[in-house]
Amino acid sequence: MNMSLSRIVKAAPLRRTTLAMALGALGAAPAAHADWNNQSIVKTGERQHGIHIQGSDPGGVRTASGTTIKVSGRQAQGILLENPAAELQFRNGSVTSSGQLSDDGIRRFLGTVTVKAGKLVADHATLANVGDTWDDDGIALYVAGEQAQASIADSTLQGAGGVQIERGANVTVQRSAIVDGGLHIGALQSLQPEDLPPSRVVLRDTNVTAVPASGAPAAVSVGGQ
């Protein structure tokens, strides 16, 4: 299924989630310092993440420009952000994961790139889940929580589980492509929509597709619809 942005936004049931058509003003960020520029990061072990910014790490802006990340271990994520005071700027690079993300059939809500707290800025990047499994194991980008933000531009996000956003996350995507698994907002947790804080998703000039094999109900779903 391949839908233009204008059709997608009109078709999606909004409930408490806002789909806006114009990008909001972005606040000025503090000066960045280089952390992982021009590196090739390969991890093969269980829970060995490519870049992991934990809550106990210092805050501030980190950069990864021209960086290639490949992880293949079980529950290994290419990028994992868990620090509300941190921002990772990922430009002109790629992140690929192929390992099993679920735990013996138990949903862990993990993606090739996962933002639980903090901000991800991805520009001219490829985020791809190339695992052999579908649905939850194939999530390319997972952003969840009121302290989680992502700003994606001129990038490709690919995976059978698509892009998953929930629990008050704030995400903007512009001039990009979400392919294979679609975009799903507030669709993972078993709680009722009224029990979850609303997420805010802003799209501009972005194509969203879902192939039948992914099991996605639509290219875009809101609240599990």
Q: Which two tokens stand for residue 115?
A: 């933002």
Mean pLDDT of 116-135: 89
3-state secondary structure of 158: strand
Which sequence spans correspond to the domains of the chain? 2-19+30-222
Which DSSP letter does residue 175 get?
A: S
CATH topology of domain 2-19+30-222: Pectate Lyase C-like (2.160.20)
pLDDT at 30 (0 to 100)? 47
- Per DSSP (E only), the strands in 92-217 are 94-97, 113-123, 126-129, 139-144, 148-153, 156-159, 162-166, 170-174, 177-180, 183-185, 200-204, 207-209
pLDDT-based confidence at residue 213 (cuts at 50, 70, 90): low
Question: For residue 221, what pLDDT band results from cuts at 50, 70 and 90?
Answer: confident
- Convert the pLDDT of each residue in 126-136 to its tens digit: 999 998 665 55
Cα separation, 125 vs 154, in Å, equals 7
Model confidence pLDDT, tens digit, residues 164-173: 999 999 999 9
CB 145 within 8 A of CB 169: yes
Q: Averaged over 158-178, what is the pLDDT? A: 95
Q: What is the pTM of this model?
A: 0.81
